Structure 1
Amino acid sequence: MPFSRRITLVAAAAALVGLALPAHAQGADEPPVIRIGTLENGTVNWEIETIRKRGLDQENGFTLQPLILAGNPATQVAMQGGEVDTIVSDFLWVAQQRARGAGFRFLPYSTAVGGVMVRGDSPAQSLADLKGKKIGIAGGPVDKSWLILRAWSRERLGEDLADVTQQVFGAPPMILNAAETGEVDAAINFWHFQAKMQARGMREIMSVETAASDLGLDPSTPLLGYVLRDDWIAANPALAEGLARASRTAKDLLAKDDAAWEELRPIMEAADDAEFEALKAGWRAGIPAHGPVDAENAQQMFATMAELGGEELTGGVATLPEGLFWWPE
């Protein structure tokens, strides 16, 4: 049975047996369930499937139960409404929710970021060469990669990319297509779409990681993480720690075991071997270091993005709230 079909059936069954039950309310003979909201084609599913197929959830005393949702806003609504125990989201959204009293915390998941891509035959070799050109950007005007690249341009080139280029904003597939067809001269896309672009012969002229380092920021700061609730962690400390261990074990396995990736290939939707290898390399590059997030480094990253993104990005949050980042003791 295809992964998407199987995972959807699991989610449907969960709804029938009482989706809103807390983890400790499961049957006495069954391990407690951790419900995770995810997207049907999201790259988070690669880790979820590895945890479930390898029994890493059972080894750590729980059953990981995916609930397929329609989009990122739907996962956030499900988290806010208590329909799921966790989702994966960026630390800025988690910070906004915590600042508003939601009690959400952030467990590191990925540091994966993209960069600026151009066609293989493009004459552009650096961001300076994009002056007067058209850039396609996935994620909108407050996309985090775009903001860091703008900050780099302002510091190193003395001018804001937003002022000297024309921007086209759109969904990741649209930006990929626009870059391939030459509709835009360069593109900034989500990391897995950038991997597809690279596999199709495009090249990177500036990575967000390099830009962040040049700005004195820590590029190893994870932007994406599992979202957990304070009260859920307090009520289920062993489950929270078990989820962290299972996630880390899955990452360690995928970091070095090519056979584990072959098992995932059917759900990765790679067009060919080159795309498969690029997706695998991109995911591996985003594995965060083992250990807690450096809150001070994260604040510096936040401040850099907030300067250009403004309230549209920050939601009115001036500094990252205390206790935002969680790591098992």
Structure 2
Amino acid sequence: MNRREFLIASASLAVAGATPARADAPRELRIGYQKTAIPLVVKAQKRLEQRFEPQGVTVKWVEFAFGPPLLEAVNAGAVDYGYTGDAPPIFAQAARAAIVYVAVIPARGYGQAIVVPADSPAQTLADLKGKKIGVAKGSSAHNLLVSALESANIPWADIEPVYLAPADAASAFSRGAIDAWSIWDPFYAIAELRQKARPLPIDPKATTQNSFFLANRDFLAKHADVVAAVNEEIAKATAWAGDHRDETAALWAEASGVDIAAQKRSVDRAEFSFGPLTDAVIAQQQAVADRFQRLGLIPAPIVVRDIVWFWKQSA
């Protein structure tokens, strides 16, 4: 099945609200996750194991430090399904990765920030001109930095991005090797509590960023019923987490090894919603892609809708 045929078939299923006939179940379901957010709840509660192991499907969890390497694994078929922020799928689609959006956590952006040390003279984004800013390349924090600077009419060339994975950026920030850090929770909360990091004010429109669940294109074509079932379990876990924030914080702390105080702060400002991609979400993600292309961060325009699977939730 080529890409066009796959998209037509998926769209037809979505319009009909049907679940495709069950193909042979995979022997193993490989889930890419980070030590943050809803996948930790799903993993700790063994929701996927309870759903799939009676069918003879083994569930394997594969940990990643952040989104770009996770999507590299999805593209390569080493992982079937995974969770990332908004920027990694843009870079992956631009590189013609075999990925498909299958669900979204719409977010208001409270769990991310551009932070500076407590004693930094910087009070606004304009004060970062000429400064070194740590950021994970291709991550949601990369988009946050780009969109925040754009909202303040600060050219990208006016700052010096220092591309570092979150753990390396945390070390650089604590020893003063970078002047600011664009980052997400729980790293954001940890920096607040340990280094008294201070977030700079940002236009709220620039901080609104969605998080996505993506599947390998070939896996989805063969096992759309499995992907739909994974989505159903994540939806249940999301609803549970929103109603049990203290328990969620404790669960995240145990699963990640991050201090409970930092995880509680992360959970308190997290959004717990989950569902199919909507036209509004697709438009927001397209704006991210267009922004990156204008700045030359991806080589050519892309169309986000081309790789969206319109999952139909059960009634």
Do they superpose with TM above 0.5? yes
Instruction: Report matched runs for 1:129-208 at 5 Å.
Output: 129-132=127-130, 134-140=131-137, 143-154=142-153, 159-160=154-155, 162-163=157-158, 165-200=159-194, 201-207=196-202
Q: CA deviation at 1:160?
A: 1.7
**Contact 1:91–1:106 (CA under 8 A) maintained in structure 2:** no
Q: CA deviation at 1:233?
A: 3.7
Residues 305 and 197 from structure 1, CA distance in 2 versus in 1: closer, same or farther, beyond 3 angstroms? same
| Number of equivalences | 280
**Contact 1:109–1:225 (CA under 8 A) maintained in structure 2:** yes
Q: Deviations over 1:84-107 (max 9, x none)?
A: 321224555545449848363342
**Contact 1:138–1:170 (CA under 8 A) maintained in structure 2:** yes
Q: CA deviation at 1:122?
A: 2.9
* Matched residue, 2:8: none
Structure 1: runs of 5 or more not aligned: 1-21, 27-31, 214-218
Residues 70 and 129 from structure 1, CA distance in 2 versus in 1: closer, same or farther, beyond 3 angstroms? closer
Aligned equivalents of 2:43 and 2:148: distance in 1?
A: 33
Q: Deviations over 1:96-143 (max 9, x none)?
A: 4498483633422464662211222333321123334x2322213882
Q: CA deviation at 1:325?
A: 4.7
* Matched residue, 1:327: 311
2:293 to 306, 322, 327: 306
- The answer to whether the aligner puts 1:243 opposite 2:226 as a matched pair is no
* Matched residue, 2:3: none
**Contact 2:30–2:79 (CA under 8 A) maintained in structure 1:** yes
- The answer to whether the aligner puts 1:278 opposite 2:277 as a matched pair is no
1:65 is paired with a residue of what secondary structure?
Answer: strand
1:270 is paired with a residue of what secondary structure?
Answer: coil
Structure 2: runs of 5 or more not aligned: 1-21
* Matched residue, 1:34: 29
2:81 is paired with a residue of what secondary structure?
Answer: coil
* Matched residue, 2:7: none
1:37 is paired with a residue of what secondary structure?
Answer: strand
2:255 is paired with a residue of what secondary structure?
Answer: helix
Instruction: Report matched runs for 1:201-220 at 5 Å.
Output: 201-207=196-202, 210-212=204-206, 219=208
2:152 is paired with a residue of what secondary structure?
Answer: helix
Give the alignment's Cα RMSD to 1 decimal: 3.6
Instruction: Report matched runs for 1:101-140 at 5 Å.
Output: 102=98, 104-109=100-105, 111=107, 114-132=112-130, 134-140=131-137
Aligned equivalents of 2:198 and 2:24: distance in 1?
A: 50
2:306 is paired with a residue of what secondary structure?
Answer: coil
Aligned equivalents of 1:305 and 1:51: distance in 2?
A: 37
**Contact 2:173–2:180 (CA under 8 A) maintained in structure 1:** yes
**Contact 2:253–2:263 (CA under 8 A) maintained in structure 1:** yes
Aligned equivalents of 2:198 and 2:169: distance in 1?
A: 15
* Matched residue, 1:24: 24
- The answer to whether the aligner puts 1:228 opposite 2:215 as a matched pair is yes
* Matched residue, 1:216: none
Percent identity (aligned): 19
Residues 64 and 120 from structure 1, CA distance in 2 versus in 1: closer, same or farther, beyond 3 angstroms? farther
1:314 is paired with a residue of what secondary structure?
Answer: coil
Runs of 4+ in 1 over 6 A off after TM superposition: none
- The answer to whether the aligner puts 1:266 opposite 2:260 as a matched pair is no
Residues 69 and 182 from structure 1, CA distance in 2 versus in 1: closer, same or farther, beyond 3 angstroms? closer
**What amino acid maps onto 1:135 in structure 2?**
K
**What amino acid maps onto 1:226 in structure 2?**
F
1:206 is paired with a residue of what secondary structure?
Answer: coil
Aligned equivalents of 2:198 and 2:25: distance in 1?
A: 51
Q: Deviations over 1:153-185 (max 9, x none)?
A: 22xxxx42531x444332323322333333333
- The answer to whether the aligner puts 1:58 opposite 2:50 as a matched pair is yes
2:177 is paired with a residue of what secondary structure?
Answer: coil
**Contact 2:99–2:307 (CA under 8 A) maintained in structure 1:** no
